[in-house]
A and B are shown apart, each in its own frame.
Chain A
Amino acid sequence: MTTQTEIIPYTVETRPDTGLYNAKLGVWLFLASEVMLFGALFSTYILLRVSAVEWPHGSKILNVPIGTFNTMVLITSSVTMVLSWASLKMKNFAKYKLFMGLTILLALTFLVVKAFEYGAKFEHHYFPKTSTFFAIYFTLTGLHGLHVLGGIVVNSYFWGPGSKMWLTDPTRFTNRIEIAGLYWHFVDLVWIFLFPVIYLL
C-alpha cells in the first residue's frame, strides 16, 4: 500500500494547474452524483404531490418542534465539523479530538431523536404503506438517516483508529478530515431541504 501511495501523484499535495488533490476532486464528483440521487427523489415528491387528490399538511401530522430541534442539532454538528478541521490546520490535535467527538455525538443525537419519531409514528399506525405522504416521509428521511449513519462510521474511524495518521502524515490526515467534512455538510444540506419540504409545507 505504501508503494502505491508513493507512485500515484497528487494524493497529498495539490496539482498546480487544477489546484486540487485527487480525493478532493473525487469527493466533489461523488457529491454531484448524490445531488442527482436526492434530486430524483425530490422530483418524485413534487410529481406525486402535484398529481395527488389531497395532500396532508406535514405540520399537522409530523412533530415540528422535534424536527426543528433536529435541524439545529445537524447545523451545530456542521459547525463543530469545520472547527475540527480548523483545529488540525492550526496543529491542535487535542482540540480536533474534542470537536470531532462533539460532531459524532450530535449526529448520534439526531439519529436517536429520529428513532423516537419513527417509533411514535408506528404507534399511531402510520407506516410507509399508509399513504403516499408517509411513503415519501419514510423513504426520504430513511435514506437521509442512512447517510447520517455512514457519516458517523467514517467520522468515528477518523476520531479513533484512523487518527494515528496524524503522527505519520499530518497533511494527508487533514485532507481526509476536509473531505469527510464536505460529505458531512452535504448530508446536513439535504436535511435543510427535507425539513421544510416534508415538515412545514
Chain B
Amino acid sequence: MLMRWQLAYPGEPLPVIGKWFGETRMPEGVMLPEFYNQLGAMHGTIMVFLGIVPLVVGAFGNFVVPLQIGAPDMAFPKLNLASYWFYVAGGIVMLVSFFVPGGAASSGWTSYSPLANIATMGQTMWLFGMICLITSSLLGAVNFITTIIQMRAQGLTFMRLPFFVWAQLVTAFLLLLAFPPLEAAGVLQLMDRLAGTSFFLPSGLVVSGQVLKVSGEGSPLLWQHLFWFLAHPEVYVLILPAMGIIAEIIANNTRKPLWGYRSMVYSIIFLGFLSFIVWAHHMYLTGMGTAISAFFQATTMIISIPSVIILSALFISLWGASIRFSIPMLFALAFLPMFGIGGLTGLPLGLSQADIHLHDTYYVIGHFHYIVAPGTIFAIFAGVYHWFPKITGRKMNDILGHIHFWSSLICMNLIFTPMMIQGLAGVSRRLYDGGVGYAHAQGVLQWNVVMSMAAWTLALFQLPFIINIFWSLVKGAKANDNPWEATTLEWATPTPPPHGNFLTTPVVYRGPYEYSVPGNTKDFTPQNQAEVKYDNAD
C-alpha cells in the first residue's frame, strides 16, 4: 500500500499515516528511496516465505492432508511443533530487522551479491531469518512426505489419493531438495558479511569510488545460481498446492470425477522434476552462452506442458457438468483463466530473446502476480470457504462471500493488467518514483494511479471476508459432517475432527472422485463406503 502511494504520487507526502514512520524513513511524510527499497525487498520475502508457503503448505497441508489420507495425525507431531517455532523465530527476526540501524534488508527478495554484501545490518538479519525459515520448511517437508507415504489408510493406494495430497507430496519434495542450496548460499553470504570472505565478491570491486579490501576471486554469479536453484522450484511450491485445492473443489462442485486424474498425477510429478532444471531462465542477462540459454529455454518450454495438461484437465472437468456455483467454486472458476493468463504470459519470458527486452520490467511483476495473487491467493480463499464448515461446523455467509469474490476479481485485474502494459513499454520494476524520470515511461504513467486505487479498493474489500469469518464462527448456518456431499475422507469424520481425527480407523474402497456414478442412488460415493446401492440392481 505504501509503495503504491509512492508510485502513484511520487514525492508527495502521504496523508496522516506518513508521520508514523519517523524521520529516518519518511521525513515530512515523503518516502525516502532507501525505505522504498526495504519495503520492496521485504514485501517479496514476507509474501513468499512468511505468507503463501505457510498458508498453503503449513495451514491447509497440516489440516487437510492427514484427514484426506485417513491418518490420526502427522507422522512426527514434535517435528511439526519444531517446524512451527522455527517459522515464528524466522518471522520475528525478519520483522525486527525493520528497526535495526539502517533498516531492513533492501537488496530485493533475491538478495543478489555483491549488493547484498555491502548492505546494512538488515541483510544479516534477513539471512538469519531465512535460515530459520528454511529449517522450518525442511522439517515440515520431511514430515509431510513421511506422513503421506507411511500413514495412508488401508486401501488408499497412491492412485486413490486425492489430487490435493499428490500436490502436497510433490511440493514437499521440492521444499526438501531445493531449499538446502539456498541454505548453503545463505551460509556463504553470512561468511562474506561476517568473516570477511569473498565467495561472491570479484577482485577489484569498486564501491563508492574505492576498491573494496577483500581477497576477491569470488563470483557474484554463483549467488544467482544458488538462489535460483531454490527459487524456481519455489514458485511451484506456491502454485502446486493451489492447483490441488482447486482440483478438489472443482470435482466436488461439478459432481463429476476429475477428467484425466492419472495424467494429472503424472503431470504434477513431471512438473516437480522439471522445475529443478529451469532455474537459469532467470539469468539470461548474465551473458551465458547460447548453448546454455538454449538448454534452459527448451526446459522452460517443456515445463509449460504439464502445467497446461493440468489446467486443461481442470477445464475439461467442467464440460457437461451441472455446476454448483458455490462461493468456493466461484473462486476456483476464476482461478482457471487467471492462472492461464499468468502461465501464458510467462512463455515470452522463457525465450531468451524476448526476455532481454522484458527482463526486470513490470511485465515480470504482472506475470508472477497473476499466478500468485488471483491464482494462489484465490485458491487459498476457495480453500477457506470450502473447508471452513469442516473446521468450525458452520457455513460461511454467501452474500458477504459474493461481495468479496466479485470485488477481488475486478480489483486484482485492474492492478495486474496495467503492470503488463507498463512492462511492455519498458518500465523497470525497481524505480521508486514509478518511472516519472524516464521518457519512455511517460505514455503509461497514468496507469500508476489506476493500479494504486485498485490496490486500496482491494484491501478495503477484504473486510467482508474478515467479517464473514468472525460472523460465521458465531452465527453461520450449522453444517453437518459432510455439507458439500463430498467423497474424500476428510468429510467422513465428525466436525470438528476430534483428537486422533477418526472415530474408527477408516478403510478405503474406491478412488477419490466417484461422483454421479451411473445407476447409483446418490450422486456421490464416499471413499470409505464399502458397498454401493444401485437403482437397477440385477
Contacts and interface: CB of A to CB of B under 8 A. Distances in A.
Interface of A: 4, 7-10, 15, 18, 20-23, 25-26, 29-30, 32-34, 36-41, 44, 47-48, 51-53, 127-132, 135, 138-139, 143
A169 B180 CA distance: 34
Interface in B230-244: none
B150 A18 contact: yes
B268 interface: no
B406 interface: no
A56 to B, nearest CB: 12
B180 A143 contact: no
Contact of B184 (A4, A25, A37): A37
24 contacts: A8-B73, A8-B75, A10-B151, A22-B76, A23-B76, A25-B146, A25-B149, A29-B145, A33-B138, A33-B180, A34-B180, A36-B176, A37-B180, A39-B181, A40-B181, A40-B184, A128-B195, A129-B195, A129-B198, A132-B198, A135-B215, A138-B197, A139-B197, A139-B199
Contacts of A53: 217
B222 interface: yes
Contacts of A22: 75-76, 146, 150-151
> Which 9 pairs show the lowest CB-CB distances between chains A and B?
A129-B196, A135-B197, A37-B180, A40-B181, A40-B184, A36-B180, A128-B195, A7-B72, A22-B75
Interface string B150-171: 1100000000000000000000
Interface in B124-147: 138, 141-143, 145-146
B150 A47 contact: no
Given A44-B226, A127-B196, A29 B180 contact: no
Contacts of A18: 149-150
B261 interface: no
Contacts of B177: 32-33, 36
Nearest to B151: A9
A26 B197 contact: no
B118 interface: no
Given A48-B218, A132-B218, 13 more contacts: A9-B72, A22-B151, A33-B141, A33-B177, A33-B179, A40-B229, A44-B222, A44-B226, A48-B199, A48-B219, A132-B217, A135-B199, A143-B187
Interface residues of B, number: 44
Contact of A130 (B142, B176, B215): B215
Contacts of A41: 184, 188
Given A30-B138, A135-B215, A4 B150 contact: no
A21 B151 CA distance: 10
B199 A44 contact: yes
A132 B215 contact: yes
Contacts, number: 131
Contacts of A20: 150
A14 B143 CA distance: 17
Interface of B: 71-73, 75-77, 79, 138, 141-143, 145-146, 149-151, 176-181, 183-185, 187-188, 191, 195-199, 214-219, 222, 225-226, 229, 500
Nearest to B178: A36
A14 to B, nearest CB: 9
B215 A51 contact: no
B150 A10 contact: yes
Contacts of B218: 48, 132
B180 A40 contact: yes
A37 B183 contact: yes
B176 A26 contact: no
A10 B188 CA distance: 39
Contacts of B77: 4, 8
Contacts of A44: 184, 188, 199, 222, 226
Contacts of B198: 129, 132, 135
A40 B227 CA distance: 11
A25 B145 contact: yes
A21 B75 CA distance: 10
A48 B201 CA distance: 11
A37 B181 contact: yes
A69 to B, nearest CB: 27
Contacts of A4: 73, 77
B146 A26 contact: yes
Contacts of B217: 48, 51-53, 131-132
A8 B215 CA distance: 54
Contacts of A131: 215, 217
Contact of B72 (A8, A30, A139): A8
A29 B150 contact: no
Contacts of A39: 180-181
A130 B150 CA distance: 49
A9 B71 CA distance: 9
Nearest to A132: B217
A26 B143 CA distance: 7
Contacts of B179: 33, 36
Contacts of B146: 22, 25-26, 29
Contacts of B150: 9-10, 15, 18, 20-22, 25
A23 B78 CA distance: 12
Contact of B142 (A9, A30, A48, A128): A30
Nearest to A131: B215
Contacts of A10: 75, 150-151
Contacts of A40: 180-181, 183-185, 226, 229
A39 B276 CA distance: 14
Nearest to B501: A7
A175 B81 CA distance: 22
A47 B150 CA distance: 39
A131 B195 CA distance: 12
Nearest to A130: B215
A100 to B, nearest CB: 23
A175 B196 CA distance: 43
B378 to A, nearest CB: 31
Given A8-B72, A25-B149, A52-B217, A129 B197 contact: yes
Contacts of B79: 26
A28 to B, nearest CB: 9
B85 to A, nearest CB: 17
A128 B197 CA distance: 6
B451 to A, nearest CB: 38
Contacts of A29: 141-142, 145-146, 176
Contacts of A25: 145-146, 149-150
